[in-house]
């Protein structure tokens, strides 16, 4: 019982910090998007395509979460208005970002000069779904080379998603990915999240995703 109390305490503390993060973002009229996926699904490519699609009229900041290195932050630093890197190596929650980390990052960003913050979470389909960061929108990216069984293996992250991106659509003819099977599996878990099949390489489908996100920014 004592162990269960400790776990509940940790989650309660995280949720309290997440609420504070959301309040801070709301005060600045800034939408936060938590982008989650397995490693290699194309989170950074989606971030770059999203920034380009939103254009200069939408002021975009990026929080890059990774176990180590600044590789992804370096890729987006010229595209975004502000970039903060979070490295989780050596931290107990190294498999995902938590609200305290995002709190520290947000306080280093010029939120009064941003419209949206894209949070690229650590590549993982289990841990990120457990921690509220204070985001307004949760997005899960699946890529066609991963196969269509990810919603069956990792149901929680898909059940909680506000949108699902199917990336690397250009590889669909060459990999074993059944789009109908994938969408039906997600729909069994989540009836509300829209799907956005797209290719960061060709740009196919990006406009639809960006239009949906832009609408969320306007409502923030």
Condensed to tens digits (0 to 9), the pLDDT of residues 30-66 reads: 999 999 999 999 999 999 999 999 999 999 999 999 9
pLDDT at residue 54, as a whole number: 98
Residue 125 confidence class, pLDDT cut points 50, 70, 90: very high
Mean pLDDT of 117-128: 95
Give the pLDDT of residue 7: 52
**Residue the block writes with tokens 């956005």:** 196
pLDDT over threshold 90, residue 67: no
pTM for the full predicted model:
0.93
Our CA dihedral for 92, 156, 160, 122, rounded to 10 degrees, sits at: 40
| CB burial string 128-165: b at 16+ within 10 A, e below | bbebbbbbbbbbbbbbbbbbbebbeebbebbebbbbbb
Domains and CATH numbers, the chain: 2-219 (3.40.50.300)
Cα separation, 217 vs 149, in Å, equals: 31
In the block, residue with structure tokens 């060459």: 174
């Amino acid at each position: 019982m004592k162990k269960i109390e400790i776990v509940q305490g940790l989650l309660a503390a995280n949720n309290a910090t997440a609420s504070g993060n959301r309040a801070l973002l709301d005060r600045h009229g800034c939408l936060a998007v938590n982008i989650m996926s397995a490693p290699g699904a194309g989170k950074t490519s989606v971030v770059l395509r999203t920034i380009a699609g939103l254009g200069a009229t939408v002021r975009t900041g990026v929080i890059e979460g990774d176990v180590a290195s600044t590789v992804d932050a370096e890729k987006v630093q010229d595209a975004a208005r502000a970039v903060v890197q979070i490295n989780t190596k050596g931290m107990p929650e190294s498999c995902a970002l938590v609200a305290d980390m995002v709190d520290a990052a947000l306080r280093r960003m010029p939120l009064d000069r941003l419209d949206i913050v894209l949070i690229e979470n650590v590549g993982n389909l289990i841990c990120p779904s457990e921690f509220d960061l204070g985001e307004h929108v949760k997005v899960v990216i699946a890529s066609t080379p991963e196969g269509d069984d990810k919603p069956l293996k990792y149901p929680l992250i898909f059940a909680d998603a506000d949108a699902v991106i199917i990336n690397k659509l250009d590889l669909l003819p060459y990999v074993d990915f059944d789009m109908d099977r994938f969408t039906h599996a997600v729909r069994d878990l989540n009836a509300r999240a829209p799907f956005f099949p797209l290719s960061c390489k060709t740009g196919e489908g990006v406009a639809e995703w960006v239009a949906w996100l832009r609408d969320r920014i306007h409502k923030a």
